Amino acid sequence: MYVYNLVDQSLVNQRVQQFRDQVRRRLSGELNEEEFKPLRLMNGLYLQLHAYMLRVAIPYGTLSSKQMRALAHIAVRYDKGYGHFTTRQNLQFNWPKLKETPDILADLADVQMHAFQTSGNCIRNVTADQYAGVAVEEIADPRITAEVVRQWSTLHPEFSFLPRKFKIAVTGSKRDRAAVRVHDIGLIIKINEAGEMGYEVIVGGGLGRTPIVGVTIREFLPQQCLLSYLESILRIYNQIGRRDNIYKARIKIVIHELGAKEFTRRVEKEWKTIRDTAIDLPVGEYERIRAFFAPLPYQSLPKNDAGFSHLKFENQDFSHWVRGNTLPHRQSGYSIANISLKPIGGIPGDASAKQMEVVADLAEKFSFGEIRVAHEQNLVLPHVKQTDLYSIWNTLKEHNLATPNLGLISDIIACPGMDYCSLATARSIPLAQDISNRFSNLRRQNDIGELSVNISGCINACGHHHVGHIGLLGVDRKGEEYYQVTIGGSADENASIGEIIGPAIPYDEVVDAIERVVETYVDLRAKNESFIDAYRRVGKQPFKENLYVTN
């Protein structure tokens, strides 16, 4: 993992002192709310329905055991004993007190964490594939790129007041787990014919009010040109982005209105003037950062362990968990262990302080002290010996963290919705709980197979409903919660925006409607055909016909 140097640490420490003084001035009345609001937002502090909310940055979803323990400590000491992992691989505390927020930031700084750029019209916390460095099919580790982008974008003076927020995601695999095509900039690491590393650069993707799949504006950008090219994209956007209309201020609208060809021309023209300047990092700096992500001291182990196979044979529940929640690792004899934060009927993404401590302990004992956060709101132990999986599973089970539902219908993405969020127009979480309870039978879930249900409580789409195989968008209809259903969305390498199936339906009818959609799929699917493949084959009509049928 990356470790702060003196510059990183002093930057974070200075910000804590700065914010401590800003809070003092706010509480004393030297600053009014209008003056203070942009300052608190620069430190991830929102004012939500019931209280303040602090969003902590987890760069590219990578956490150490020590950092996870610090989050657990903050949850207990300053909050109500839990936190919420988000679709941006971050963590939100729902109940911090303003007067204690500087102390929270100081505790975060002690473990090399902060809340910079988790809000505001700046380059937000960079996200990446949660299996970075361990996925079997990976071409190159995206964490090096993500760390370079993190350092470049942190407090970047030119890009601290963009027309709107700006999100960058990186993947180093052909299988896209970072949803790069629905980010403002998506980077896919590629190796060219000469064996050189570079990026496919995708721009203008996004969800929210106007969901769009991004367009590739460069098939191959040499790695050493990354920052000058990003700088060029951001500079063009910063110049012509719509500051007059918040709904048209994202880069996707700029590209839509200008055309991808013209936007690319302007970027390339700008790039010609700044490439090969000091903006780009020297190779040595890439190597310095790469050293933090060097291969770990894995043991040489056989691909299959007889004892592990025996335990799977003896214990069906363990076997189900291994099959559902673990994946092969690059290193022989090791696995990637996913920890579901979606217990049946639970709150997606929530973890108690105790659960955080348990995960921190497991990571320290079994995974080189490393944890990942997935944008699907689950956690990952990325480097686990097969022979340790049984012990890990037993501990996870004791703490309600072993639900074997990864990628299944109960592995629901849900934003906090109107239970917490001041922007929301409807609740997300209780609907997720109801759907999870309805499909609680794991045998049935496995029979249905891979199926994502994503729920957003408003058009801002924090629950990524547009790219759920089934998406639900909560809307207000004269004070009542209604939900618009979309089908056919996908956030992976074949990204697509879900189609609206018809009129929104009231809260009480949603779960039955989802069940009818699922049963429609089960009835029409070909052998081994997934929900999304079936949808793409038959279109929306059969689903629409059944969605609105009522008895």
C-beta of 77: minimal distance to other proteins in Å? 15
Strand order in the sheet with 326-328: 62-64, 370-373, 379-385, 334-339, 326-328
Residue with tokens 């403002």: 184
C-beta of 34: minimal distance to other proteins in Å? 10
Using rule CB under 8 A, residue 430 touches other proteins: yes
Using rule CB under 8 A, residue 385 touches other proteins: no
Using rule CB under 8 A, residue 536 touches other proteins: no
C-beta of 448: minimal distance to other proteins in Å? 25
Using rule CB under 8 A, residue 33 touches other proteins: yes
What is the C-alpha to C-alpha distance for residues 464 and 379, in angstroms, rounded to an integer?
A: 18
Which of 15, 26, 190, 525 lies at the binding interface for other proteins (CB under 8 A)? 26
Using rule CB under 8 A, residue 420 touches other proteins: yes
C-beta of 160: minimal distance to other proteins in Å? 24
- Helix, strand and coil content of the chain, in percent to the nearest 5, comes to 40, 20, 40
Q: For other proteins, which is the closer residue by CB, 427 or 466?
A: 427
C-beta of 46: minimal distance to other proteins in Å? 9
Region from 212-220, 388-396, 473-481, 521-529 binding other proteins, contact rule CB under 8 A = 473-481
Using rule CB under 8 A, residue 419 touches other proteins: yes
Q: Are 311 and 318 in contact (CB under 8 A)?
A: yes
Using CB under 8 A as the binding criterion, the count of chain residues that bind other proteins stands at: 28
Look at the chain and count its residues: 551
C-beta of 477: minimal distance to other proteins in Å? 11
Site mask, other proteins, residues 71-90, x = CB under 8 A?
---------x----------
Residue from 433, 417, 419 nearest 87 by CA: 417
Helices 260-274 and 226-240, axial angle in degrees (round to 10)? 120
Which of 408, 415, 429, 495 lies at the binding interface for other proteins (CB under 8 A)? 429
C-beta of 44: minimal distance to other proteins in Å? 14
Neighbours of 541 (CB within 10 A): 9
Residue from 188, 63, 201 nearest 130 by CA: 63
3-state secondary structure 454-488: EEECCCCCCCCHHHCCEEEEEEEECCEEEEEEEEC
What is the C-alpha to C-alpha distance for residues 86 and 360, in angstroms, rounded to an integer?
A: 18
List the structure tokens of 41.
Answer: 């937002």
What is the C-alpha to C-alpha distance for residues 121 and 193, in angstroms, rounded to an integer?
A: 38
C-beta of 82: minimal distance to other proteins in Å? 9
Q: For other proteins, which is the closer residue by CB, 405 or 433?
A: 433
List the structure tokens of 140.
Answer: 């190159």
Q: For other proteins, which is the closer residue by CB, 475 or 538?
A: 475
| CA 117 to the chain's CA centroid | 15
C-beta of 99: minimal distance to other proteins in Å? 6
C-beta of 53: minimal distance to other proteins in Å? 8
Q: For other proteins, which is the closer residue by CB, 484 or 496?
A: 484
Using rule CB under 8 A, residue 297 touches other proteins: no
Residues 98-117, interacting with other proteins (CB under 8 A) = 98-99
C-beta of 400: minimal distance to other proteins in Å? 15
C-beta of 51: minimal distance to other proteins in Å? 4
Site mask, other proteins, residues 311-350, x = CB under 8 A?
------------------------------------x---
Site mask, other proteins, residues 150-189, x = CB under 8 A?
----------------------------------------
Using rule CB under 8 A, residue 49 touches other proteins: yes
Dihedral sign from CA coordinates of 505, 206, 499, 435: negative
Q: Determine if residue 87 is left, alpha or beta; phi over 0 gives left, psi from -120 to 50 gives alpha, anything else beta.
A: alpha
Which of 164, 167, 427, 465 lies at the binding interface for other proteins (CB under 8 A)? 427
Using rule CB under 8 A, residue 27 touches other proteins: yes
Q: For other proteins, which is the closer residue by CB, 82 or 321?
A: 82
Which of 5, 28, 528, 541 lies at the binding interface for other proteins (CB under 8 A)? 28
Using rule CB under 8 A, residue 97 touches other proteins: yes
Adjacent-strand bridge partners of 84: 92, 350
Q: Are 165 and 237 in contact (CB under 8 A)?
A: no
Hey, what long-range contacts does 496-499 have (CB within 8 A, 24 or more apart)? 496/213, 496/467, 497/211, 497/212, 497/213, 497/466, 497/467, 498/465, 498/466, 498/467, 498/468, 498/469, 498/470, 498/471, 499/540
Using rule CB under 8 A, residue 442 touches other proteins: no
Residue 113 CB contacts under 8 Å (≥ 6 apart), including other chains: 12, 56, 57, 58, 67, 70
Helices (H), 414-539: 429-438, 442-448, 507-524, 531-538
Using rule CB under 8 A, residue 232 touches other proteins: no
Q: Are 370 and 360 in contact (CB under 8 A)?
A: no
C-beta of 483: minimal distance to other proteins in Å? 14
Using rule CB under 8 A, residue 481 touches other proteins: yes
Q: For other proteins, which is the closer residue by CB, 44 or 205?
A: 44
What residue ranges bind other proteins (CB under 8 A)? 26-29, 32-33, 47-52, 80, 97-99, 347, 418-420, 424, 427, 429-430, 433, 479-481
